[in-house]
Amino acid sequence: MRVLKERVEAFLYEEGELADRHAYSEWLALWAEDGRYWLPCNDDDAAPENHVALIYENYTGLEDRVRRLSTGYAHTQSPQTRVVRVIGNIRVAEIGEGLVEAKSVFNITAFRRNVMENFAARVVHHLRPIGGGFKIVRKTVYLVNNDGYMNNMTFLI
């Protein structure tokens, strides 16, 4: 289990680093084609199919997001947001169906146009082991302030 935890930790750190560096294509390559990305709004326990979400995307939606961010024409990213995140409290468990669940927390600091914002969240990844690595099957980000006012998040969170 220790080796699995170390591999999962390395994967989560790599995903965060790719997002922070705006390495969009490399970040997208970490996802399974049946992957789902969910940031609930207001109610952490709501079913994403039946409630408003800050983000609820399948792989095709993620491809569209990456394409928009990669073109250079996303006015919300001109200038580009500078982002750094700290990931911690990682817990790993095998959950059946060949999947690994990783629970963690993060704190993201984002800076753009002289405005600094902080985002804190609990995160749950469901990962599918593939070869020597993983693919993200599901990522759920429970922002601490998901029921409060926030500006558009135009970077990968």
Question: Is residue 18 in some structural domain?
Answer: yes
C-alpha 106/C-alpha 101 separation (Å) is: 16
- The range of the structural domain enclosing residue 55 comes to 2-143
- Domain tally for the chain? 1
Q: What is the pLDDT at residue 54? A: 84
Question: Is residue 156 in some structural domain?
Answer: no
Question: Is residue 157 in some structural domain?
Answer: no
Question: Is residue 63 in some structural domain?
Answer: yes
Question: Is residue 28 in some structural domain?
Answer: yes
pTM equals 0.91
Question: Is residue 52 in some structural domain?
Answer: yes
Residue 82 clears pLDDT 60, i.e. is over it: yes
Give the helix/strand (H/E) hosting 104: strand 99-112
What confidence tier does 69 reach under pLDDT thresholds 50, 70, 90? confident
Q: What is the mean pLDDT of the segment spanning 135-155? A: 85
Residue 154 near residue 144 (C-beta atoms within 8 A): no
Q: Output the domain CATH number for residue 56.
A: 3.10.450.50
